[in-house]
Structure 1
Amino acid sequence: MTSSSVDGLVSGLSTSSLINQLMQVEAAPQDRLKAKVNTAQTAVSSYQSVNSRVSAFKSAADSLGQLSTWRGIQATSTSSSVSAIAVSGSTNTAAGTTTFDVAALAKSQITTAKVDTSQPITSADSITVTIGPADADGVDNSAKRKDYVIDVSKDKTAKGVMDAINAKGIGVKATVVTTGGAQNILQLSGTKTGVDNAFSLSGFDPATTNVASAQNALLTIGGGEEAGGYNVTSSTNTFTGLLTGVSVTVSKEEKNVTVAATQDIGGIADKFQALVDAANATLDEIRGQTAYNPSTNKGSPLTGDFSVRNMAQSILSVISKGLTYADPESTKDNPLPDIKFGSLAKLGMQLDQTGRLTFDREKFTASYNADPAAIQQASVAFADQTEKLATTQTTNLTSVITGRKDEIDGYNTQINDWDVRLAAKRVAIQKTYSDLEVSLGKLKNQSNWLSGQLAGLG
């Protein structure tokens, strides 16, 4: 609070300065509380930084232990013109291989008509576009076809017909092509590939020509049906049922293409690397927040917190002590001894000379290929133990953060109380000095009166 008083007019004292100095002394307890708030807030920020790293470490462990991690597949193709992509959520229970010929690509229909753009191209007030598969091999496909009646009565020129078709939005795109000759071309193109998206026209005067017929993509396996194999068709150039869990897209006709779906060991290794990276990030954060510089005698916000330092030791211990875990087949009626897996170096993980975790991808891959079941079981057990450790750590950190925030709230309440007290104290001090000025003024007046009386006697 600032003072509105005027420095002593009678005493000549700088009362504002005196009052401010006195208030600084009075405010010392509040200043100590504010310092405690700043210290606590710095500590909270440090705890939150550590907690964020531990949470990421926990998430990485959880991801490694998920069954989906160990059942992920990767898809490969022997052809650069055939892409094979593992469908999200696919598992290696669907792993397999297939070889095929790309006999045909899916195409959309293109139909053209020669037109005079300066004249009406139809005498009818409407034309009908029928979309759907034509009858074939004695099969009646009329139920799959749909008629779209398009009103062209307002403008029967090529442009008018084009605009009317495009406005209908029926899966057929119309374009007027300027050829530079006596006649131009009205081109109708299907917007989707496949025989189910073929179309025909009626009520249309100009003769039409199918430049390209709608067709499905065709893959032949084992030489196709005629050779005792089988065919696979798709209305697009993408096949989702050729190999379970894999989406295959073709872009040109070719022979002898092999697509394979195998377990994604590289993806598992990526999860291990992510866990190691998260662990190192956590250790680095803890070291930074608890560091002490002996040359400057300065510590970090959490230098004196043994519990945080102990978190780093716990993480390092999980790696260095080796792995022992309960046998998954152990039951209450048939208890089995714990499995002593031993060094995590078998999983490609170890500590280097600087205390950082390292991961050898090639070593892990070799171990996994040698005994997939054992390595998966041990890895999942390790991930489970690591996640439990991280869960305990983040729970403890969250509790500490909550406690320190409550502590800050308590300090702030006291600071607010001191604001009220100090405001009242300032008013009291100001009144004291104001009363002093009044008293001095009266004394001065009396002194002047006495001086006048004495002067009169002389």
Structure 2
Amino acid sequence: MNASSAGVKALKVAAGKDADGNAQYRIQFSSATTGASGDFQVYSGTSADVAAGSATNLLTAPGSAVIKTAQDASVRLYAGTTAEQTITSSTNTFTGLLPGVDVSVSKASSDPVTIGIAQDTSAATAVASGLVSAVNGVLALISTKSAVVNSTDSAGNNVVSGGPFTGDSTVRGVNDALVTAASMPVNGHSPSEIGISITKDGNFEFDQDKFSAALAKDPAGTQSMLATLASRVADAATTASDKYDGQLTGVITGQQSIVTDLNKQVDEWTLRLTDRRSALEKQYATLETQLSTLNSQSSSLSSALAGLPAVYTGA
């Protein structure tokens, strides 16, 4: 049964021992779904017996016990007034009990319950603060990698060296796009109105108190502006780093292509130089053989000359 799609689960529960000391068990059935729709009956007999009404209902048979009847959870609103109404749910959660409000109940109670509803600003504040931190993190990385450093070499000479992003127009364009996305007005309103402002150093600041005040005054407008800022920053980031046609992706692909081409040229020159070295070694070997032959001939000639008789040339 537990492996079927009947929607009912069975569990064997220990029920003590009989007079002979043998263990006894009960079978506990439960619905796989909650609420009144999970109600079920268990019969002993065939489908035909059930249809004919001759099957035994095990849930009502002598000795059986119904622990809990399937039912929906319910709440009464405006109890004791002309506007009283009962709302039901197949679970303990009432979705949309009030516009934008879900309510979960934990136990039955006949006593009136008052629900207080207040806006949760922590989530929106965390999003705004996280957006500012993320943008500042990228801008700080670009600034660090673009900095020019003055140093001195071992000889005392002044050395000026740049970072990997120094002078890179593509990276500079990405920086400008992010700054623009996070600082430009939204529908004529500056982001500084909701606590997101840019400093003279090009970084962003987040004023939590100002953001909370804006959220309390105009929740929809503040959230809309924040969503627009986040969307613009996301678009700028995608334009820069999309894995298929992003600006930085194009630069990286181009640099990788250059590296591949240079490695190919190095490999080709390595083969040429290897062949040239082999040819020169052969030439040098031939020259050494020839020089050895000439030295041998020179020694023989010197010996021959030394053996000739002296010739008198005097008057």
Deviation (angstroms), 1:264:
5.8
* CA spacing shift, 1:256–1:446, aligned 2, 3 Å: farther
Q: Write the distance in 1 (CA, Å) between the matches of 2:238 and 2:79.
A: 56
Q: What is the TM-score normalised by the length of structure 1?
A: 0.49
Q: Which residue does the alignment assign to 2:139?
A: 283
1:403 to 230, 233, 254: 254
Deviation (angstroms), 1:383:
5.0
Q: Write the distance in 2 (CA, Å) between the matches of 1:372 and 1:287.
A: 35
Matched, 1:361 2:208: yes
Q: What is the TM-score normalised by the length of structure 2?
A: 0.67
Secondary structure of the residue aligned to 1:428 is helix
* CA deviation vs aligned residue, 1:185-214 (integer Å, no higher than 9, x gap): 423221434443332333579833214132
Secondary structure of the residue aligned to 1:179 is strand
Deviation (angstroms), 1:286:
0.5
* CA deviation vs aligned residue, 1:339-373 (integer Å, no higher than 9, x gap): 3x34x332111245765322123311211322346
Q: Write the distance in 2 (CA, Å) between the matches of 1:435 and 1:345.
A: 85
Deviation (angstroms), 1:291:
1.9
Q: Which residue does the alignment assign to 1:173?
A: 10
Q: How many residue pairs end up in the alignment?
A: 278
* CA spacing shift, 1:186–1:393, aligned 2, 3 Å: closer
2:168 to 281, 294, 305: 305
Q: Which residue does the alignment assign to 1:436?
A: 287
2:26 to 146, 163, 186: 186
Matched, 1:200 2:42: yes
Q: Which residue does the alignment assign to 1:47?
A: none
Code of the residue aligned with 1:295 in structure 2: it is S
Matched, 1:250 2:80: no
Q: Which has the higher contact order (CA 8 A, sep 6+)?
A: 1
Q: Which residue does the alignment assign to 2:50?
A: none
CA contact (8 A) 1:217 1:234 kept: yes
Code of the residue aligned with 2:85 in structure 1: it is Y
Secondary structure of the residue aligned to 1:251 is coil
CA contact (8 A) 1:222 1:229 kept: yes
RMSD value over aligned CA atoms? 4.1
Q: Write the distance in 1 (CA, Å) between the matches of 2:43 and 2:18.
A: 25
Code of the residue aligned with 2:41 in structure 1: it is F
CA contact (8 A) 2:73 2:90 kept: no
Deviation (angstroms), 1:246:
5.5
* CA spacing shift, 1:418–1:375, aligned 2, 3 Å: same
Following superposition of structure 1 onto structure 2, how do residues 46-65 of structure 1 map, counting pairs within 5 Å? Answer: none
Following superposition of structure 1 onto structure 2, how do residues 98-113 of structure 1 map, counting pairs within 5 Å? Answer: none
Gaps of 5+ in 1: 1-164, 328-338
Gaps of 5+ in 2: 46-55, 153-158, 310-315
Q: Write the distance in 2 (CA, Å) between the matches of 1:188 and 1:439.
A: 107
CA contact (8 A) 1:194 1:214 kept: no
CA contact (8 A) 1:216 1:234 kept: no
Q: Write the distance in 2 (CA, Å) between the matches of 1:392 and 1:176.
A: 62
CA contact (8 A) 2:73 2:91 kept: no
Q: Write the distance in 2 (CA, Å) between the matches of 1:387 and 1:213.
A: 52
Of all paired residues, the percent bearing the same amino acid is 32
Code of the residue aligned with 2:271 in structure 1: it is V
Secondary structure of the residue aligned to 2:64 is strand
Q: Which residue does the alignment assign to 1:147?
A: none
Q: Which residue does the alignment assign to 1:292?
A: 148
After superposing the two structures, state which structure 1 stretch, 411-420 or 252-261, moved more: 252-261
CA contact (8 A) 2:240 2:248 kept: yes
CA contact (8 A) 1:217 1:236 kept: yes
Q: Write the distance in 1 (CA, Å) between the matches of 2:273 and 2:116.
A: 79
Following superposition of structure 1 onto structure 2, how do residues 330-345 of structure 1 map, counting pairs within 5 Å? Answer: 339=188, 341-342=189-190, 344-345=191-192
Q: Write the distance in 1 (CA, Å) between the matches of 2:195 and 2:295.
A: 94
Q: Write the distance in 2 (CA, Å) between the matches of 1:284 and 1:313.
A: 13
Deviation (angstroms), 1:257:
4.2
CA contact (8 A) 1:215 1:235 kept: no
CA contact (8 A) 2:94 2:103 kept: yes
Matched, 1:213 2:89: no
1:424 to 234, 255, 275: 275
Higher strand share: 1
Code of the residue aligned with 1:400 in structure 2: it is V
Code of the residue aligned with 2:162 in structure 1: it is G
Deviation (angstroms), 1:433:
1.6
